[in-house]
Amino acid sequence: MIRELLAFALGAGVAAAVITSESDGLAAELRQAIASGPNTDAGGQFAACFTPYADCTGMIVDRVGQAQRQVLVQAYTFTSAPILKALAEAAARGVDVRVILDRSDQDGSRSAARWLAGHGIAPLIDDQVAIAHNKVMVVDGITVITGSFNFTRAAQERNAENLLVVEGRPDLAGFYTANWQRRAAASRLFAP
């Protein structure tokens, strides 16, 4: 499954390595994929976005707006009103929206956890690690959104950030979904 990512990375001249102490199946599969080499039939579509030059928030809102079944979110800092609104609208139209936040997003008047809970989305708080620094969305099990881009206004308007959208890749989405599930199992339900 991960072989296609390796093909992309190796084709671009990027070295790939997996350093992990985990003995879970994902780590073993990654090591096996690297050892066996890349599959050059990667497929899928890739879109990159860079701030301050482009509307990365808009790309995210668009993909969430297209969701039909599920959106899984892992967010470190989450204050973007357009993205929060898109998630609430997706949930209102019956999409299964699940969110894991870092503990820093649970307190205060600008709390994403409090806002989501007030809009019918029960966020989880990942507080078993120093920081839950992921910035990931998995849409309908086939699209992965990731990069340095925090889901914030500052990321869009003031920072130099990157966002990568990989569509049509259920294999890659499966890896991110499995990681989402592992972090969800280590998280607790937000209690306002």
DSSP 21-60: ---SHHHHHHHHHHHH---S---SEEEEEEETTS-HHHHH
Helix (H, G, I), strand (E, B) or coil at 74: strand
**Pair of tokens at residue 39:** 């599959």
85-130: per-residue pLDDT in tens? 999 999 999 999 999 999 988 876 668 899 999 999 999 999 999 9
131-176: per-residue pLDDT in tens? 989 999 999 999 999 999 999 999 999 999 999 999 999 999 999 9
Single out the catalytic residue among 102, 105, 126, 140.
Answer: 140
What domains lie within the chain, and their CATH numbers? Answer: 1-42 (no CATH), 44-189 (3.30.870.10)
Helix (H, G, I), strand (E, B) or coil at 73: strand
Element (DSSP H or E) covering residue 66 = helix 56-66
Strand blocks (E) in the chain: 45-51, 70-75, 96-102, 124-126, 135-139, 143-147, 161-167, 188-189
Single out the catalytic residue among 85, 119, 133, 171.
Answer: 133
**Pair of tokens at residue 127:** 């507080």
Cα Dmax for the chain: 50
Single out the catalytic residue among 102, 105, 126, 135.
Answer: 135
Is 119 labeled as catalytic in the residue annotation?
Answer: no
